[in-house]
Amino acid sequence: MSGQPMLATYLAENAALIEAELKRSLPEVWAVPPRLRESMDYSLSAGGKRLRPVLVLAAAEAARGGESDREAALRVACAVEMIHTYSLIHDDLPAMDNDDFRRGKPTNHRVFGEAMAILAGDGLLTHAFHMAASARRYGADAGVVLDIVEDLSRLSGPAGMVGGQAADMQGEQGATALPELQYIHEHKTSDLIIFSVTAGVRLGGARAEQLARLEQFGRKLGLAFQIQDDILDLIGDESKLGKKTNSDTAAGKVTYPYLVGMEESRRLLAQFTDDAKQALLEARLPKPERLVELADYLMNRDR
């Protein structure tokens, strides 16, 4: 790791790059109605860990073995953050989770109204594909960009993230068992993380057998991420989380600790993290260290 910045510095620097790119992602020359743009910007600039876009950048560097040629990866990084952001806006709607706050701020529909929140989500979802497709103008191969567009649609669509959300809406405490919970999280959480790491290594020039390993890395990392989320909801520090603890169980959600207990949840967290790192090492990327560090960081995070 010599010569590399510390993980904290790496995360801060990359988050800043992503913020800047997100800011210029809706070109001023495009006539977007002001209130719609405001509503989209409100949620897009609400912060968060920017985990998915950072994974795109880190995966591209890991596959390429260096930091050059970051522009195309930045476009794809913004695309996945737009998908993630739209999914939060729609999930928070009264007809869905009916949440009033997100990251300590009023949710989009509380500020802009339900109709505008639906449209802001639709707008971000649609614009994400423009961001992804535009990677071609930053040096990425047209065939690779089309693979990325197809992956983004498949992994965030009806058989991916949207499917996970639909299954989640139909699940309920007392009726959902571990296989269903895993299905929900593989799609609601893992699929976008799979997209992030595979899109990154595609841009970095990975081969087909490496992609299969990275898909496994993303799947297990996503499940570990979700379990840590569930654990933090129960025993985390409210001031660090920016939300009340125990909100999941109170809202009637099925979580890992609810279903299998805290001890088994911790065991699964450690196992999924190990599985993830194993798959990553088997991919034999030129420079995987940062991705290993990110996996450890996600397992041990406190917010």
Query: 87-118 b/e with 16+ CB inside 10 Å = b?
Result: bbbbbbbeeebebeebeeeebbbbebeeebbb
By C-beta, is 10 or 42 nearer to its own copies?
A: 42
CB 62 within 8 A of CB 204: yes
As a dihedral over the C-alpha atoms of residue 201, residue 206, residue 208, residue 210, rounded to 10 degrees, the angle is: -70
Binding mask 112-131 for its own copies (x = CB under 8 A): -xxxx-xx-xxxxxxx-xx-
Our finding on whether 138 is near its own copies (CB under 8 A) is no
Residue in 62, 63, 88, 133 binding its own copies, rule: CB under 8 A: 133
Question: Alpha-carbon distance 130 to 107, whole Å?
Answer: 25
Kindly state the smallest distance separating residue 282's Cβ from its own copies, in Å.
26
Closer Cβ to its own copies, 166 or 234, answer by number: 166
Dihedral over Cα of 289, 22, 215, 90: its sign? positive
Closest CB 86 distance from its own copies, rounded Å: 8
Distance CA 42, CA 22 (A): 12
d(C-alpha 100, C-alpha 107), whole Å: 5
Phi, psi angle pair for 284, to nearest 5°: 50, 50
d(C-alpha 147, C-alpha 69), whole Å: 19
Comparing CB distances to its own copies, the nearer of 166 and 231 is: 166
CB of 27: closest distance to its own copies in angstroms?
Answer: 8
Q: Between residue 154 and residue 213, which ones bind its own copies under the rule CB under 8 A? A: 154, 156-159, 162-163, 165-167, 169-170
Structure tokens at 153: 């649609």
* Shortest distance, position 159 Cβ to its own copies, whole Å: 4
Number of amino acids touching its own copies (CB under 8 A): 52
> Least distance from C-beta 178 to its own copies, angstroms?
17
Q: Strand runs (DSSP E) across the chain, as ranges?
A: 101-102, 105-106
- Of 14-22, 135-143, 200-208, 281-289: span binding its own copies (CB under 8 A): 135-143
Q: Which two tokens stand for residue 27?
A: 């070109």
> What whole-number distance in Å separates Cα of residue 200 and Cα of residue 80?
11
Interacting residues toward its own copies by CB under 8 A: 26, 30-33, 35-37, 40, 86, 90, 93, 95-96, 113-116, 118-119, 121-127, 129-130, 133-134, 136, 142-143, 145-146, 149-150, 152-154, 156-159, 162-163, 165-167, 169-170
